[in-house]
């Protein structure tokens, strides 16, 4: 694999010396521009890394939660414990959920306590306008924990005034209420959103009640745009079987605030604060037997700038700082700090050769440091056909649970070392006049000091340890067909294989629960502006397990003042579990109405 990547980069160098007329397609007004996976926004066709983008503002009634979007990417393994994203662990390219980074508008929301809470987003889905997923290492851009990939949830300043009111109900005692209000002015814009999802549960002690609220304000000043986001969430849920064969209960709360200030056209400063609390009861009916209360907090700041240099060279650079702490009856009280500086140069030649060279130096409390370089290149071999490749180094820090947690089934290890990994990837991408897009990527990741939980016998507790070497090799394939009448159909497949060097007689807890085969078929379209449809069929086969398929279907009215919708998940009533012992619900049906008050909805047909 290393020889293949080196050959690919050498090929890029050879192409750079030729004067072929092949060029990247000129960006169109409707082309997707991504901000994840690069230091500056770029058209998706010019990205040197694999980035998947989801427009959550398009046909939102076809989706119930952010999980519905992420499930269409087979390189993402969402190990769910319940519907509606109830404590879903996110993993990309076989990495553990601790090795996958989650961002909100570029701010880190990974939980310092445990990666189980990385997807405990403090904002409603209605506050999100786009989701971008970077496949592969991202530590050069974002620092610790971005080993398998990065998911960035993005908000966008509203362009018009609108009020949305949504209510729905379904089986298993499910009901929901959503509200989103947007105001757009010349100097000030505002978006308010709130959601509440409730269910009595498809099984005993599997109920949940999720609620969240967010306010985001954009103010135009002499310096540039000021963006202020304040959000919070409250999620109690029955956790039977989540951490062993116990009738548990858990409640998480999250608070988030961020400020981003433009300082002219090429510089910005940003500050963020996140507080997360986790109350866990082992036996729901008798909290006195065993109870944990954890509170984690994090502060982060960044100063970023960019410059345009001669000969089509863009230079981006900046500095980040991060502080987090934990206050817990089980984990104790701990604080740690880290700071980083980084720089990246993007070079273009003849509009067909794109090269990125980046590096990051991050220093932790105590003087330990990690260096994370990246080299990425893309070459348009001919019109519509591009070849790209990259080499990156990533790292992650142990969570406080990895270091200090202790219960009858799991024991942390305060002597854990940070993980590190090298990843190599490359492959072709074909874009045939925008109607057909196909890409394939071969990747190989070599992890060192990987953190996993191991045990010597089925009755022994899991013990956190550093594993000397873990290697992942995989192939990703994706094809998107853009059809007439606003229809899109997609096929995607990911194959994974891992090797792990664990001491003889020990069993791994997390590494070998990855999907060795995962594929999805998706289709979405609109019929005569009256009905929109979406369907997804996902097939997953985990290591040493049988394959299972899940079929989802949704339909709604896309326009008008009143918009009915229906969502059917697991239509085939498949019995399956992403996490051993935690069975997921069978067939679910949700239906309801959304009232949309805007200039467009009030306009007569």
Q: Which of 274, 283, 288, 207 is nearest to 244 (CA)?
A: 283
Range list of H helices, 56-126: 66-70
CA–CA dist 344, 48 (Å, integer)? 13
pLDDT band, residue 276 (cuts 50/70/90)? very high
pLDDT in tens, 568-602: 999 999 999 888 888 999 999 999 999 999 877 66
Query: Given a cut of 70, is residue 23 above it in pLDDT?
Result: no
Q: Which of 77-81, 350-354, 397-401 has the lowest mean pLDDT?
A: 350-354
Report which of residues 596 and 30 the model is more confident about: 596
Q: Per-residue pLDDT for 161 more than 90?
A: yes
2: enclosing H helix or E strand: helix 2-17
- What is the rounded average pLDDT of the residues 171-175? 94
Give the number of other Cβ atoms within 10 Å of residue 402's Cβ: 23
Look at residues 404, 399, 437 and name the one whose alpha carbon lies nearest to residue 418. 399
pLDDT of residue 604: 52
Question: Is 51 a residue whose pLDDT tops 50?
Answer: yes
Using alpha carbons, select from 191, 192, 208 the residue that is nearest to residue 200: 208
pLDDT at 483: 86
Question: Given this model, what pLDDT does residue 601 score?
Answer: 64
Q: How many CB atoms lie within 10 A of CB 383?
A: 15
Q: Does 9 have pLDDT greater than 70?
A: no
What average pLDDT does this structure show over 78-88? 84
Quick count: other Cβ atoms within 10 Å of Cβ 444? Answer: 17
Q: Provide the pLDDT for residue 19.
A: 34
Paired with 37 in beta bridges are none
Which of 501, 484, 569 is CA-nearest to residue 534?
A: 569
- Give the pLDDT score at 46: 73
Domain spans, the chain? 2-602
Q: Percentage of residues in the chain with pLDDT exceeding 90?
A: 66
pLDDT at 7 over 60: no
Q: Is the pTM of this model over 0.75?
A: yes
3-class SS at 338?
strand
CA 590 to chain centre: 25
State yes or no: pLDDT of 292 exceeds 60: yes
Distance set, CA 134 to CA 63, 150, 189, 390, 489 (Å): 21, 5, 29, 13, 21
Torsion sign across C-alpha atoms 253, 128, 321, 394 = positive
In this predicted structure, the answer to whether residue 388 has a pLDDT above a threshold of 90 is yes
pLDDT higher than 50, residue 257: yes
Provide mean pLDDT across the span 200-207: 93
Q: What is the CATH number of domain 2-602?
A: 2.40.170.20
What secondary structure does DSSP assign to 396-429, as a single string? EPPPHHHHH-B-SSEE--TTPPPEEEEEEEEEEE
Tell me what pLDDT residue 29 has.
Answer: 45
pLDDT: which is higher, 597 or 4: 597
Categorize the per-residue pLDDT at 15 as very low, low, confident or very high, splitting at 50, 70 and 90.
very low
Please give the average per-residue pLDDT across 117-137, as a whole number. 93
pLDDT (tens digit per residue) in 476-517: 999 999 888 788 999 999 999 998 776 667 777 776 778 999
Q: Is 68 helix (H, G, I), strand (E, B) or coil?
A: helix
CA neighbor of 83 nearest in space, from 570, 521, 571: 570
Res. 530: pLDDT tops 90 = no
Beta-bridge partner residues of 531 = 527
SS3 449: strand
pLDDT of the residue at 10: 32
> Does residue 20 carry a pLDDT above 60?
no
**Confidence band for 5, pLDDT divided at 50, 70 and 90:** very low
Task: Supply the mean pLDDT for the chain.
Answer: 88
* Kind of pairing between the strands at 107-108 and 487-500: unpaired
Query: Rounded to an integer, what distance in angstroms lies between the CA atom of residue 375 and that of residue 428?
Result: 17
Strand partners, 180: 164, 193
* pLDDT at 542 > cutoff 60: yes
Work out the average pLDDT over 374-402. 93
């Amino acid at each position: 694999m290393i020889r293949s990547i080196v050959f690919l980069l050498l090929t890029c160098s050879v192409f750079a010396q030729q004067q072929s007329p092949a060029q990247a397609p000129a960006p169109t007004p409707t082309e997707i521009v991504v901000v994840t996976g690069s230091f500056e926004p770029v058209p998706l066709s010019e990205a040197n890394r694999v980035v998947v983008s989801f427009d959550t503002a398009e046909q939102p009634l076809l989706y119930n939660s952010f999980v519905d979007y992420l499930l269409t990417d087979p390189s993402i393994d969402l190990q769910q414990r319940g519907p509606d994203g109830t404590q879903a662990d996110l993993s990309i390219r076989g990495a553990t959920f601790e090795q996958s980074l989650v961002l909100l508008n570029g701010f880190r929301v990974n939980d310092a306590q445990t990666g189980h809470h990385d997807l405990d987003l403090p904002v409603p889905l209605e506050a999100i306008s786009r989701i971008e997923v970077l496949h592969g290492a991202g530590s050069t851009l974002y620092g610790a924990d971005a080993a398998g990939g990065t998911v960035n949830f993005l908000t966008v300043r509203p362009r018009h005034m609108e009020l949305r009111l949504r209510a729905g109900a379904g089986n298993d005692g499910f009901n929901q209420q959503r509200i989103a209000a947007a105001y757009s002015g010349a100097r000030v814009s505002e978006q308010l959103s709130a959601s509440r999802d409730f269910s009595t549960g498809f099984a005993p002690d599997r109920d949940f009640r999720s609620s969240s609220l967010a306010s985001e304000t954009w103010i135009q000043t002499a310096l540039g745009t000021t963006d202020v986001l304040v959000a919070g969430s409250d999620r109690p849920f029955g956790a039977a079987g989540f951490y062993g064969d116990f009738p548990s209960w858990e409640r998480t709360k999250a608070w988030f605030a961020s400020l981003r200030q433009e300082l002219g056209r090429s510089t910005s400063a940003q500050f963020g604060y996140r507080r997360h609390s986790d109350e866990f009861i082992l036996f729901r009916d008798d909290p006195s037997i065993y109870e944990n209360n954890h509170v984690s907090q994090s502060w982060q700041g960044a100063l970023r700038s960019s410059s345009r240099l001669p000969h089509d060279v863009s230079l981006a650079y900046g500095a980040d700082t991060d502080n987090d702490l934990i206050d817990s009856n089980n984990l104790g009280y701990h604080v740690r700090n880290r700071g980083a500086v980084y720089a990246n140069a993007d070079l273009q030649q003849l509009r067909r050769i794109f090269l990125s060279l980046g590096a990051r130096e991050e220093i932790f409390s105590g003087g330990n440091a990690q260096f994370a370089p990246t080299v990425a290149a893309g070459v348009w071999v001919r019109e519509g056909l591009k070849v790209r490749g990259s080499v990156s180094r990533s790292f992650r820090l142990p969570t406080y649970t990895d270091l200090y947690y202790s219960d009858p089934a799991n024991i942390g290890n305060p002597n854990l070392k940070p993980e590190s990994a090298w990843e190599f990837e490359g492959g072709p991408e074909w874009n045939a006049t925008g109607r057909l897009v196909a890409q394939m990527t071969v990747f190989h990741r070599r992890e060192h000091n990987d953190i996993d939980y191991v045990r010597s016998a089925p009755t022994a507790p899991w013990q956190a340890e550093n594993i000397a070497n873990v290697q992942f090799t995989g192939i990703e394939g994706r094809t998107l067909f853009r059809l007439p009448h606003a229809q899109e159909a997609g096929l995607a497949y990911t194959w994974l294989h891992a090797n792990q060097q664990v001491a003889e007689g020990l069993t791994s807890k997390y590494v070998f629960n990855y999907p060795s085969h995962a594929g999805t078929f998706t289709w979405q379209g609109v019929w005569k502006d009256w009905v929109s449809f979406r369907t997804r069929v996902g097939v997953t086969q985990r290591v040493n397990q049988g394959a299972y398929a899940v079929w989802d279907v949704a339909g709604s009215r896309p326009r008008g003042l009143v918009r009915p919708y229906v969502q059917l998940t697991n239509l085939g009533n498949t019995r399956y579990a992403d996490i051993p012992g935690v069975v997921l619900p069978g067939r679910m049906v949700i239906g309801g109405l959304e009232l949309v008050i805007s200039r467009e909805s009030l306009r007569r047909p």
